[in-house]
Amino acid sequence: MIIDFKFDGKYVVIVGGGTEAYRKTLSFLDAGSKILVASRTFTSGIKKLNQEKKINLLKASIKNGETFFNQLNPKPDLLAVATNDQKLNVQLSKSARSARCMVYVADNPSISDFILPAVAKIGEVRIAMSTGGKSPAMAKLLRQRVERLITQEDLLQIELQNYMRTILKQQISDQKVRKKILYKILKDEHVKKLLKAGKLDEAQRAARKIMESFQVTKEAP
């Protein structure tokens, strides 16, 4: 089961300054989190994010997970651990959980509260692939395959559907009728051709005509 947590505005502390910590930092930034990265050293990518004032850094040589976590003030909503020290990872996980913080340990799903799936990002589309922590490499490969499948036409169809949903909610109170119109627009060949050609404005006009014709048909005696 994949659940999309809302981390917008949540305070996330990431322990580790390497490549994996950088990847997770980008993921939580994309989710809108407030981020503190703690480590003895940091990759150039993490440093750049700090210079751009997107994240905060805490330079620290962490030897004891419990001591480090207890010194955090305020406590995070989520502690993400990405170090190569297994003993430290376990200490941090236990300390965070005892404080009722969510825990994510990059290389140990068994002591994490959740698994971060590989996420394909194409425009506004997000598709998550998870192997249950069994093969991150395969999850990444599947993500790359999915990213190649989503076309510009698909992305424009999403914009068109959102545009028409707004109009339909204002004009038609019956949710079932709105759904029928949206599916009719989704399957319309003329609309598809316009979107394939990148003509979103024309596709919107065509979609409105479909809505109007549907309303006329419904109202006809």
Other Cβ atoms less than 10 A from the Cβ of 35: the count is: 26
140: its two tokens:
């990444």
Structure-block tokens of residue 27: 């993921």
Angle, helices 19-30 vs 44-51, to 10°: value is 40
**CA dist., res. 46 & res. 57, Å (int):** 9
pLDDT of res. 170: 92
pLDDT of residue 213: 87
Q: Which residues contact 166 (CB under 8 A, 6 or more apart)?
A: none
pLDDT recorded at residue 165: 94
Distances from the Cα of 184 to the Cαs of 68, 70, 161, 206, 209, in angstroms? 57, 57, 11, 11, 11
Judged by DSSP in three states, 79 sits in: strand
pLDDT score, position 111:
87
Residue 10 is given by DSSP the state -
Cβ atoms of residues 80 and 24 within 8 Å? yes
Q: Residue 220's pLDDT is what?
A: 47
Q: In 3D, which of 20, 15, 76, 28 has the Cα closest to residue 45?
A: 20
Strand pairing report for 78-81 and 56-59:
unpaired
Distance CA 27, CA 130 (A): 15
Specify the 3-state DSSP secondary structure of 209. helix
For 204-218, b/e burial (b = at least 16 CB within 10 A) is: bebbeebbeebeeee
pLDDT digit of tens for each residue in the chain (221 aa)? Answer: 566 778 899 999 999 999 999 989 998 998 899 999 999 999 999 999 999 999 999 999 999 999 999 999 999 999 999 998 999 999 999 999 999 999 999 888 888 888 776 777 777 777 777 777 778 788 888 888 888 888 899 999 999 999 999 999 998 888 999 999 999 999 999 999 999 999 999 999 999 999 998 765 555 44
First and final CA of the chain: distance in angstroms? 48
